[in-house]
Structure 1
């Protein structure tokens, strides 16, 4: 009887907790939906669903505070769904194409990543900007925007609010640069293919590259995406480099308790990249409609995850911590665009 009574008492406590968890997850998807709807409006369509959702989440936090009662579900979205999105993002990477047709671009992409991270961190030091946000912005600028920031953040022990600030800035600046590229394109004395290489080698997100390169035609878009995929490909070795750096840093500072958790989601990212490159579309044909659906799911998962991160941002932190990293990242982006333009 006592055991039965204990079970009866435990159940009402567990069920509301599960409801709150579900409520938290659904809440992040609801904000993601609002971001999607906002991105359909003229003007905001260039900003994109991800950035719009983060903006809404940050605004919600300022007016209504953090929804503590559903924290468990929000945390699940910002951590677990984020890793799931990165794993699925691996399907966007065609390793075969990168290795066969883009070795030269791959070398250039490595230079882009080193330059972007190095200059952003250097400028941050000069400006006395927030080191973590600046590092994340350097990674996002050099590699592939929000996905790169999301992959590196847990390795370098970034706080959720710093990660969200970095993602928000990279989405905003990337959109501004992509629109700027399309405006400049008719006045530039370069071929469509060279314009595509320039876009793919210097812009932030895959979506930004597609936005900027599409007006140049199919050839420009194809070579732009190839150049961008090379940078995505280099995300994996970059993450392992950061793991080694963090381990050495902890060892030198004698922080024996500060263990670096192995990013197992990168294994999933690599696995799906291999499947997408050598299995799907080859020995196991997959319709484009299915791949488009997977891409859409990836976008929604990433957006919901970013909502969870965005809810951790306070405007006071944004004002005090984001301005100088934003300046450092903007200067780096301008230099990167100019340098890549002249070496293509």
Structure 2
């Protein structure tokens, strides 16, 4: 009996060309959007390139029909490029700067992250929101916005709609905090340093913190960024805890279903304890903290990080459909608002104690 000949194996060059053809249209659109967002910041320095990019993505998705040819490139930008941007974010952190905050403020940062996550998970349960959705919101609002959402997704493998919803909420509520924090800080009489500490401890995205710190003044900007980066550093231990819990839950499910028994079902693939890109982030922090990275490399990495994250934010923005909010309902918005209040409240109490 004659068997059909196997298809010819493609060469490496052919595979690369096919990959470029698949991803090229979407990535080109992301690059153009990132360039436009960066150009907007040159005209209006108070704008955030990341926020501008995600708004562009949302508007484009909801106002213009997008070709299916763009989807593979957009998906690539929304995950691998976002994760690479998070790795490069590690080069912006110096452990010495964070330790210089003092034990009191470091304890406040830990309280913000731990208390914010715990309270958001509890409120989300009361509201009847699914476990994965409330975890994405809890970490996004308590640690570092979209980067934390991406990190959680790397451990729990959330649904695309859950990830996009969490990112959209980070953008909406973080943007609302930009005018609100300076106004309230002035109203209650915080000085520049205290206002900066509160901004860094309460606002979701690094870019949003920079916008608020710049509005408050030079002293506030410096301390706001350091406090925010201290929260970013909490990404690694939090992901390790979530990863350990996920592995235990899956191991328990396997045992109860008999998957590990002879003849049982195939064991479920367990998530990594810490996603590989979070390990890369930690390595970059360690390298920068050793003082061996030339300043020009740090600046270049910062620019590359901004471009990658802007492209990723645009891609994530294209996943936001206005009809989606009708499906998810009002409860995630209520949870996002409550989480914002909790995180800001813990941060303000901490600043009052140690500031």
**Which segments of 5 or more consecutive residues in structure 1 lack a partner in the other structure?**
none
Measure how far apart 1:130 and its partner are.
4.4
Whole-Å separation in 1 of the counterparts to 2:16 and 2:144: 40
TM-score by length of 1: 0.85
Change (3 A) 1:252 1:217: same
Whole-Å separation in 2 of the counterparts to 1:214 and 1:307: 24
Within the candidate set 306, 310, 332, 2:313 is matched to: 306
Contact 2:92 2:298 in 1 (8 A): no
Change (3 A) 1:311 1:221: closer
Whole-Å separation in 2 of the counterparts to 1:97 and 1:84: 23
Whole-Å separation in 2 of the counterparts to 1:264 and 1:17: 23
Return 245-254 or 7-16, whichever deviates more: 7-16
Within the candidate set 301, 314, 325, 2:332 is matched to: 325
Q: How many residues align?
A: 334
Whole-Å separation in 1 of the counterparts to 2:176 and 2:133: 19
Measure how far apart 1:233 and its partner are.
1.3
1:89-134 per-position Cα deviation (integer Å, ceiling 9, x unaligned):
1011111222354332222111111221122222222222344333
Partner of 1:54: 54
Return 157-166 or 240-249, whichever deviates more: 157-166
Tell me, yes or no, if structure 1 residue 293 matches structure 2 residue 300.
yes
Measure how far apart 1:240 and its partner are.
0.7
Measure how far apart 1:88 and its partner are.
0.1
1:26-47 per-position Cα deviation (integer Å, ceiling 9, x unaligned):
12222333444566777xx766
Partner of 1:31: 33
Change (3 A) 1:180 1:68: same
Whole-Å separation in 2 of the counterparts to 1:253 and 1:145: 31
RMSD: 3.0
Within the candidate set 268, 271, 282, 1:260 is matched to: 271
Tell me, yes or no, if structure 1 residue 270 matches structure 2 residue 282.
yes
Measure how far apart 1:273 and its partner are.
0.8
Partner of 2:233: 233
SS in 2 for 1:126: helix
Contact 1:94 1:273 in 2 (8 A): yes
Whole-Å separation in 2 of the counterparts to 1:227 and 1:211: 14
Partner of 1:19: 21
Contact 2:46 2:214 in 1 (8 A): no
Contact 1:92 1:273 in 2 (8 A): yes
Change (3 A) 1:115 1:14: closer
Partner of 1:83: 83
Measure how far apart 1:14 and its partner are.
7.7
Contact 2:111 2:346 in 1 (8 A): no
Contact 1:161 1:309 in 2 (8 A): no
SS in 1 for 2:156: coil
Measure how far apart 1:83 and its partner are.
1.5
Measure how far apart 1:139 and its partner are.
0.7
Change (3 A) 1:275 1:181: same
Measure how far apart 1:177 and its partner are.
0.9
SS in 2 for 1:223: helix
Measure how far apart 1:246 and its partner are.
0.8
Whole-Å separation in 1 of the counterparts to 2:345 and 2:11: 66
